[in-house]
Structure 1
Amino acid sequence: MGLTEYECPACGGIMNFDAKSQLLACPYCDTKIKVSDYVAPRKEEQDKDAKADSNEWMQEGNEWQPGETEGMVVYSCQSCGGEIVASENEGSLTCPFCSNNVVVKEKFSGDLRPDYVIPFKKNKQDAMNAYAGYVKGKLLLPSVFYAENHIDKIRGIYIPYWLYDATVDGDYSFSATKVRTWSDSDYNYTETSHYGVERSGSESFANVPHDASKEMPDDLMESIEPFNFSEAVPFNGGYLAGFLANRYDIKAEDTKAHIVERMKNTVETDIRNTVDGYSTVNITSKQQNVRNLRHKYALYPVWLLNTSWNGKNYLFAMNGQSGKFVGNLPVSKKKATILYLLSTIGFTLLSIFICLLIINN
């Protein structure tokens, strides 16, 4: 496998992509370089395949159990020679021994090469601050969730996305009613008028995203939308330095139906909202046509935070561009019981107080 390292040309240290400055930054000598200007000091060496000899690794007594290596790849770090074990879909890695950042070129070459990447704008501390703000003030949350050290793992990951463009035409027929009521000294009257309403329209969509990773829950990834595609740049592996990155393992054709359904639902909602001023509105017929459907491939920045409580795992996600934070939180049964008892006691005391006031008056 060809591995690309981001070695500082000034001191040889390990460079990371800095979300705040949007530059490759060396933490040792403060050298900063535009991603597009970076040239590896040892380019000729890095262009050679750094083959991970897993057979030799196993012969040294570090044998895997049957089935344990399924879906995994072993790479050899070019800086220290250490073994990096990763899933076969990971394309940006950090050596656990020397913390060297490497990008596996084969994971992002040919048809696997993304068209665009949105660089991280939020850093790890931003993610921790967002988590603290997310749990703040939630009275029924178990107390342990308020502690930052309760987070088991926090990772900045570039998630693969398919982005769709299309135009959707819609022709709709509605049945609608208007109801008028009045009364006189003898009767109450209701008049219902019936109408047929026709609506037609077209709506164009650009860069509608669908995550292309089986590891990521679709509902969680949709919850952190939207991403601002205007800040996307042509793909360059330098933006991955210091972060994890996955290549796609869901094909575009497997996400197309879901995206088309999202587009159609949006058009239907927008057209329906133009039929106003009626008491009731119902769709009687509709025809939708999707034109010029096409897609492209991009990597989007996401911070993932994992924690566990009472044997259950909880996953939180933050949009690495906008900072939007989502996740599911548990409820402390103990706190819920205490709150219920306090509210019951408070209501009882208030009722007694009101009764006493009535009696005394």
Structure 2
Amino acid sequence: MTDCQEFSTPMSYQQQSYACPACGSTAEYAPGTAVLRCPHCRAETPIAPVPRQVQEHAWEELATLPLKQRAAGGQILQCSGCGAVNETDVLSGRCQFCASPMVASAATDRIVPEGLVPFRVDQRRVHDNLRAWARSRWFAPNSLKKVSAAETLHGTYVPHWTFDAATASAYTGERGQEYTVGSGDNKQTKVRWYPASGQVQRFFDDVLVPGTAHIPAQKLKELEPWPLQQAVPYQEAYLAGFRTLRYDIEPEAGFQSATQKMAKVIKEDCRKNIGGDRQRVHHVNTNYGSVTYKLMLLPVWFASYVYNGKQWQVVVNAETGEVSGDRPYSPWKITLAVVLTAVLAGLLYLLLGRHHHH
């Protein structure tokens, strides 16, 4: 890439427009399909498949990619629906004036998404799943059951990094052999420790790390596992009508998080390798070979509702429909459960006592 291309003005973003061939309004991606559907006349346009696969990228490639300075305040997108100018820091979203879908080109980022898992669960099913979720919360206040009709829903593609690595680890530690001393009531279990060392190897495939710090990592973790094998090669058409966050965690920082995830698994491998009745792992030295990465977009419905003057947030995996999130607890129901447990324990105690006397 030449320097003059690299420093083109931050405002000149290419932009995709998905005009409905039948009525001219802007079409949107229809969850669970491979078509763009017009919200007004329901006309459908197939999304042509692209002749490429979702691929891993060698870690060494990163060093050759120039770090790009994103324009402060995001980019300027002109809405193809009403012509309004919108300033935004997301890859796709809706016009703040007429709500038409807008999709920017990802070519302006240092790394373009490699693939995405398309939305499969549509709004109606999200509402159904949220109602079922609200009903199944035991200690939730009864009025929560009515809340799921009133929430706001945002379908959002959330960037994630995936990493592969072939690891070879050398460890030192101790193996513990248990033995017993004494007998009867004085019997005790003791442990003899012996030095242990060795090597373990493991190949990690698609270790997933969020690519944005805007959403708590724990919230995203609750939506795992993701069916990454359902991913399709990145095409902007799938973003039409949805919000898409840009990554703000660089792959280098993402890989640091991935190695922490890998370290936990490697430590367990070391324990198994040590054997014996108990294990202590003192030191592990790991080499990471054949490291690859890719940027993936994963579909999440964000629902928020107000309950008792407080905002609560729920997230839904838009591929599997799984719901996870915050909810209020009813102090009355919890008190009642505690009282009932105490009454039952008392009754059981009385019954057992009577049985004992007989």
Does TM, scored on the shorter chain, surpass 0.5?
yes
CA separation in 2, counterparts of 1:209 and 1:203? 16
Choose from 73, 78, 81 the match for 2:80.
78
Cα distance between partner residues in 2 of 1:167 and 1:83: 48
1:12 aligned partner, one-letter code: G
CA contact (8 A) 2:127 2:149 kept: no
SS in 2 for 1:36: coil
Residue in structure 2 matched with residue 170 of structure 1 by the alignment: 169
Asked whether the equivalents of residues 304 and 316 of structure 1 are also in contact (C-alpha less than 8 Å), the reply is yes
- How far apart are the structure 1 equivalents of 2:74 and 2:26? 25
The question of whether the paired residues in 1 share the 8 Å contact of 2:77 and 2:104 is answered with: no
Q: State the SS of the aligned residue for 1:273.
A: helix
- The residue aligned with 1:62 is none
**AA of the residue aligned to 1:286:** V
Q: Distance in 1 between matches of 2:340 and 2:74?
A: 53
2:123 matched to 1:124? yes
User: Which one-letter code corresponds to 2:173 in the other structure?
Assistant: F
Q: What does 1:41-52 align with in structure 2 at a 5 Å threshold?
A: none
Secondary structure of the corresponding residue to residue 91 of structure 2: strand
Shift of 1:240: 0.4
Matches within 5 A, 1:1-361: 1-36=13-48, 71=73, 75-82=77-84, 84=86, 88-105=88-105, 107-149=106-148, 151-181=150-180, 194-276=193-275, 278-344=276-342
The amino acid across from 2:152 in the alignment is K
SS in 2 for 1:293: strand
User: What are the Cα deviations for residues 20-65 of structure 1, in whole angstroms up to 9, with x where unaligned?
Assistant: 2232223444433332269xxxxxxxxxxxxxxxxxxxxxxxxxxx
Q: Is the 8 A contact 1:176 1:196 kept in 2?
A: yes
Does structure 2 retain, via aligned residues, the 8 Å contact 1:162–1:209?
yes
Q: Give the structure-2-normalised TM-score.
A: 0.77
Contact 1:89 1:249 (C-alpha < 8 Å) held by counterparts: no
C-alpha displacement of 1:340 = 3.0
Contact 2:173–2:281 (8 Å) recurs in 1: yes
Shift in Å at residue 236 of structure 1?
Answer: 0.9
Q: What is the CA-CA distance between 1:267 and the residue it aligns to?
A: 1.6
- Tell me the secondary structure at the aligned position of residue 147 of structure 1: helix
Q: Percent identity?
A: 23
Partner of 1:264, secondary structure, is: helix
Instruction: Quickly say closer, same or farther: Cα 1:143–1:284, change in 2 above 3 A.
Output: same
Look up the SS of the partner of 1:329 in the other structure.
Answer: coil
Shift of the 99–356 alpha-carbon distance from structure 1 to 2, 3 Å rule, reads: same
Contact 2:200/2:273, CA 8 A, preserved across alignment: no
The farther-off stretch of 230-239 and 303-312 is 303-312
Q: Which has the larger radius of gyration?
A: 1
Q: TM-score, normalised by structure 1?
A: 0.76
Unaligned runs of 5+ in 1: 39-69
Q: Residues of 2 paired with 1:149 and 1:319: CA distance?
A: 17
d(CA) in 1 for partners of 2:297 and 2:203?
23
Question: For residues 345 and 179 of structure 1, do their structure 2 counterparts lie closer, same or farther at Cα, with a shift above 3 Å needed?
Answer: closer
CA distance in 2, matches of 1:126, 1:96: 26
For each residue in 1:235-270, what CA deviation from the matched residue of structure 2 results, as whole angstroms up to 9, or x when unmatched? 111000121111112222232221111112222223
| Distance in structure 2 (CA, Å) of the matches to 1:184 and 1:270 | 36
Q: Is the 8 A contact 1:168 1:264 kept in 2?
A: no
Q: Deviations over 1:38-97 (max 9, x none)?
A: 9xxxxxxxxxxxxxxxxxxxxxxxxxxxxxxx947664422223454x6x3212122355
CA distance in 1, matches of 2:188, 2:241: 73
Change (3 A) 1:293 1:80: same
Deviations 1:109-153 (A, max 9, x none): 352522222211222223223323333332211223212446432
Deviations 1:273-305 (A, max 9, x none): 3444x3221114322222233422221111111
Q: Following the alignment from structure 2 to structure 1, what is the Cα–Cα distance between the partners of residues 136 and 295? A: 39
C-alpha change, 1:265 and 1:354, in structure 2 (3 Å) is closer
- TM-aligned CA distance change 1:5 to 1:148, over 3 Å: farther
Q: Distance in 2 between matches of 1:190 and 1:145?
A: 52
Distance between the aligned counterparts of 2:99 and 2:202, measured in 1? 48
The structure-2 alpha-carbon separation of the partners of 1:72 and 1:311, relative to structure 1 and needing over 3 Å to count, comes to: farther
Instruction: Report deviation, 1:217.
Output: 0.8
Name the aligned partner's letter for residue 15 of structure 1: A
Corresponding letter in the other structure for 2:290: N
Supply the distance in 2 between the matched residues of 1:151 and 1:289 (Cα, whole angstroms).
52
How has the CA–CA distance of structure 1 residues 190 and 337 changed in structure 2, closer, same or farther, with 3 Å as cutoff? closer
Range 335-344 or range 225-234, more displaced: 335-344
